[in-house]
Structure 1
């Protein structure tokens, strides 16, 4: 019997386990999923917790509830991956698991210790994050009683999970403080290492103009060198200083520490991965999905979804002795909350930046691309139900895995 081992039961790992459990003959294949944590987090929901829109029960479910019964589930930290021996050692009981094929879906994590002064005595006091459930809940408590001042959102370094989330946070903050009647007492600033509001020119121009309309200051190419928590200031490597009363940090992101221990990652512990086949570079039986890759695509749930959609049929070809197809095109599809019950939608891939248009039906929508609408907001709100009930369970969505140009146009 052949053994397929999936490391990680987050978004990508769970979807892959569900899809492959249906496709592979259980008399020929044994599938095992390993994860260190029993709890599955709906990470896009963390954004809404600080503003009281979502609460902890909205974003937390048991992982076992979303994995098929035919799959062996092991809850244990992973000590090391030993690819030359086709085996993985677990940390909990020193158990060794062998495999014929390995899928690495170990995700990414925030590492606030990478920025001097960030993760010290002011952490979750005057310095907060919203990329973890605990951080988002602590920030919710802080905002509930905050009376205004200088709120600075700093992105430490790219890549990060959901690159538009910092912008969404500021748009929602603008709305929230207006609702609280204190917007005139709040100064909002985005300090980003990027040269603009976003990485792609057309979207960056649009989103930058919205930040300006909402009176949100943008400090571009701000590469943070350190935080001075007692001084309540952040400094860049070129010695620029930004003072704050409340710092909302998007810390450095890295891959799982087991990737670093196993010598499989780059400087940030992301696994070098073929951008089209999702095969780990240098190995013919290891695939990488989701945030664990070093691909230039977004680290987002939609990307994991499109990766799994292309990976599963490609993997079935591969085990039948056929060559892998260059199937994944970097497709990403992201809703952007803009506040006041409205939102944007962007759809892009490796080669095509976000363009205006209609999605998913050309000319009909119902969602508009790069255009603010209430329908886009409700698309974002409906996505949570779709995530728990459709995506995680590996069910099909009527959206092609490869990006389509149908319904899009380039502005002059």
Structure 2
């Protein structure tokens, strides 16, 4: 009996368990999935918690219920991966593997910025990338009377690159609905030279920020946070004051990657961006936020990766050449407030473009254009996540690779 071990029972790991359980010969392969946490979070929902759009129960469920029968579920802490020995050390045992899938995700590392974890943390300085941070911010916003709101991005890459912008747009709508928008000065602060990493999309998003009266500070490389003066300060000593700071700290891979010596400076695993095989170990595959591939760290990307990775696992087992297929496809709704949203669709070589999705001519969704339908698409994704995506069910009419149908685009070379 051979062993396939999946590390991490988040979005990526759970999807892979569901994909593989019906495809690997049960008499030949044992599938195990390891995760120390009981709760599975719908992380895109953290964006909505601060604004009372979602409740706590809508963004969390027991993780074990999504692990299929036939998969050995191990709820233990992962101490270290030993790739030279094909073993994984857990908190009280060591398990062997023939194939390893690393799906350990990423998380915020506020300790990487001086002063961020100071006395104002979760009092006047908040994140919304954790369940605890989003809840604390919700409670703060319920009672906050206004002032200088700074929405800040520390550095790339981060989970869901558009989320800080979405938070900014939703904050504008939230305070407008409360009748206190005139009491709130919103500033969006980014280390990038524009609102987003892709030029066409950045232009559209910058326009929306200006339209909503949001100031934008670009090329801001934060060096420290001064908790006494309530300022963020960059390496050039530029200072931006705040009354309420909502920040996206540095994102890093899990500490087990560092302990195992498998990651880069941010603990992301070097991965072939088309096959999702580890660069350094042929029987290790990596998926989702744990990789260093230049694709968005988002649930839709992990969904597309899972389809290619499943095929490649089967090819690897049977001794065939792997598919160099994954193209970095990302498909994201961007909430813009007031019950509207944008939709973007892009990959490694093609930036977000205008057009229709998923069908040419009839759409019905519009790309890079605000609409109420896109907003409902965003909200519907929560149901899709719990009922389809986690279970490895393909989303109808949305292919794993980017389709050029209905799009106006320029293909760029690598």
Name 2:67's counterpart in structure 1.
67
Name 2:303's counterpart in structure 1.
305
Distance 2:227 2:298 in 1: 31
Deviation at 1:410, TM superposition (A): 3.5
Give matches, 1:143-292, under 5 Å. 143-292=141-290
Name 2:401's counterpart in structure 1.
402
The C-alpha deviation readout for 1:156-215, integer Å capped at 9, x for no partner, is: 111000000000000000000000111001000111010000000000000000000001
Distance 2:117 2:86 in 1: 37
Distance 1:36 1:111 in 2: 19
Name 2:29's counterpart in structure 1.
29
Quick one: which of 306, 323, 326 aligns to 2:324? 326
Distance 2:196 2:220 in 1: 14
Off by >4 Å, runs of 4+ in structure 1: none
Distance 1:84 1:66 in 2: 31
Name 2:130's counterpart in structure 1.
132
Deviation at 1:361, TM superposition (A): 1.1
Name 1:351's counterpart in structure 2.
349
Name 2:335's counterpart in structure 1.
337
Distance 2:406 2:232 in 1: 44
Q: What TM-score results when the alignment is normalised by the length of structure 1? A: 0.98
Distance 1:132 1:209 in 2: 29
Deviation at 1:287, TM superposition (A): 0.2
> Across the two proteins, how many residue pairs are aligned to each other?
409
Distance 1:126 1:225 in 2: 19
CA contact (8 A) 2:350 2:409 kept: no
The C-alpha deviation readout for 1:2-43, integer Å capped at 9, x for no partner, is: 100000000010000000001111111100000010110000
Deviation at 1:154, TM superposition (A): 1.0
Question: Is 1:13 aligned with 2:13?
Answer: yes
Distance 1:179 1:36 in 2: 41
Question: Is 1:85 aligned with 2:47?
Answer: no
Distance 1:251 1:157 in 2: 7
2:122 counterpart SS class: coil
Question: Is 1:55 aligned with 2:45?
Answer: no
Q: Any gaps of 5 or more consecutive residues in structure 1?
A: none
1:234 counterpart SS class: strand
Q: CA RMSD in A?
A: 0.8
Q: Any gaps of 5 or more consecutive residues in structure 2?
A: none
Q: What TM-score results when the alignment is normalised by the length of structure 2? A: 0.98
1:269 counterpart SS class: coil
